[in-house]
Chain A
């Protein structure tokens, strides 16, 4: 079916995340406890996590997490993976029986490195090649879906309440320096496993609460750069926007945030000339990348956690800091549940990102 004819999923949500800038790792217990408190913000149709620093044994290989509808799709897909990548290790992702989690697809993990000769033939950087191959699998191979493709990080998601999803994937057994959690409240479509947040591409993981009214143009904009929106979700397009702006266009993260949630013209007009020129140029060139409509997002990468609100703050987002740990959540209670006495708590302003960065010299 032409993807024009696929309905976009609209959802409300709860989110919670934290990063220890010192690189200290912790188990998934805390993040599960935090997102569990925000239970009422999701409706059991999707929950998920992203965890960074969990695969120290394969820090430089791409960790692919895949859902397969059946073993035949796995056969087809693995043929493609074998052709393009050297597989260092593969196997099922460990799960346990958990309350509220329905029938699961086949869930497989591969640690892979792109084959040199294939890279040469495609004349692509390893990252660009991985993006291309992920797009290929997700678009062309029926029943196969790559839901995580970064290095030393992974996404875990399912249909269910997020705390149950965490239990299902045995996240208490992983240790990460950054955890991102999300519970969904999709309103118009039944949840499916691939549709749960976080959405990831390469090292980027993104969770999102909101509805992007500009989705139609954001999607067409990223398509110009070879991204295919296969899931018809706002979150997916946000991830591609970040990948495009940060990785391909090499823009500073602050600039990317100003593109997604730019200041109003009224404000820009009163700025000093250099600043005015900067923001005017951003809006002129990247107008199609503006995310318009309510959103609160958390974006993870190997060295950074970023939280951002829309330009008129139509979704809740609270941040806090305790020592080297930066927290963000839809609700302050989500933070205080696991950090009762933070050093500071604040409400980030519209378009003003909360950024946590791994300290220099800390291996990610």
Chain B
């Protein structure tokens, strides 16, 4: 608990630092300005040695007395205030609650501090980046939208959670999984299987796949939220478990895999704590339909967006490995994408009984 206290004050100090900038600038008759690292493709680079996407050093200035930025500046200070309130009260909250907490009509006007949540969310991300504080450290959580099942025991608020005894529903992964909040008490699994879709995770959980192969099943229902990524990373780091990723065979699946592996562009500053450079791409590969004799009629024609996105991926630095170029090209050549669910065409339990066992046995994955 001591560490927690110390960290919280560190973040709070950083937040108070923003107020100091304002006060000091005002004293020197200077325009108060915050430096905010840019969160865009233009400001990230791929560190090949570490296998991570890293944020560059480009910063944007956000100054108060600039008509275009004045409102954002004011919003930033308001959010900082709300975040420090959380620190002091030692509460966690959601993005939406922060939006409501900071929303009010400015005195003598018809103007609201925030009109929609779309305005407050980026401000929070801006603060994460510029203060180099993780969202968890800011006490902001996302929705719980991940599930885990398998031979692992957590300590959550003093409760013992044994994920091998939670039926087929598993444990709902909290948004904040830092050691202060979630303790991994015991873990006997051999690997982690991170599944894109909740439906396929249910299939595997129902079939008790994790028991036969002694693994942890994890899903983030689509693009995995931070909690799921961070938990996978902790299992990988603290318990040396290899992580395998199972996604649909489409550009979005590839990107989910890349986010888990190298980190995302938007949250590049968190890659170091989130990314799992050694994660492996288990499937669905564009080679699988042939390998597993999936009929062509269960494929879906790639639409224009898919094609554009696939081409974009091919240009990303972290997709330059020949195997990956071949993988994406193969998909583009076939003109088809396949969902994991399509495996049910062969058998309801095809994924559990044939596909995954074969993949694991043949160590058939991409890096």
Bound together = no
